Amino acid sequence: MASNGKGNRPGSRLSAVRLAQIHAAGDVLDMKRGFDENNLYDNLSWLSENQAKIERKLFELRRGGNKPKLFLYDVTSSYLEGSRIILVSTGIIVTAKEEKQIVIGMLCDESGEPVSTEVFRANTHKR
């Protein structure tokens, strides 16, 4: 549900939940009761707590015991809004302007399939 509104209308996951509440998402998905941001945050908390386990299991299922010959790693930074996000710090963006941002690291296998992601503070150096 968190990704429902992302393709059609840019916004946060919370805005996707709010958008779905005023449309027929609950009926279309045959949800017996409504949902709200608390459901979203509960799911995101669970995903965060279990991220390593989930990534490891997906990797094992996809690889079928075959070990990759190469791993690729890249980082990027992303501007974001909000004042209560733990990893946010001020960094310099492409326009040389200081903005609130985070750094995102992604590890891929040799075919470019994501293996793991991690979010860092903006002041984490790109090495």
Instruction: Grade residue 79 by pLDDT with cuts at 50, 70 and 90.
Output: confident
Tokens 């891929």 sit at which residue? Answer: 108
Q: Are 93 and 79 in contact (CB under 8 A)?
A: yes
- Structurally, the chain folds into a number of domains equal to 2
Model pLDDT, residue 4: 41
Across the range 41-68, mean pLDDT stands at: 87
Which position has the higher pLDDT, 40 or 73?
73
Residues 44 and 72 in one domain: no
- Does the residue 36 lie in any domain? yes
Residues 29 and 75 in one domain: no
CA–CA separation, 116 and 13 (whole Å): 21
Residues 72 and 121 in one domain: yes
Residue 91 pLDDT > 60, yes or no? no
Average pLDDT, the chain: 74
The 10 Å Cβ neighbour count of residue 68 is 14
Residues 44 and 94 in one domain: no
CA–CA separation, 106 and 101 (whole Å): 16
- Does the residue 60 lie in any domain? no
Model pLDDT, residue 46: 85
Instruction: Grade residue 37 by pLDDT with cuts at 50, 70 and 90.
Output: confident
**Structural domain span for residue 84:** 68-127
Nearest CA to 80 out of 7, 5, 10 is that of: 10
Model pLDDT, residue 117: 92
Residues 1 and 43 in one domain: yes
Percent of the chain predicted with pLDDT > 90: 19
Which position has the higher pLDDT, 65 or 87?
65
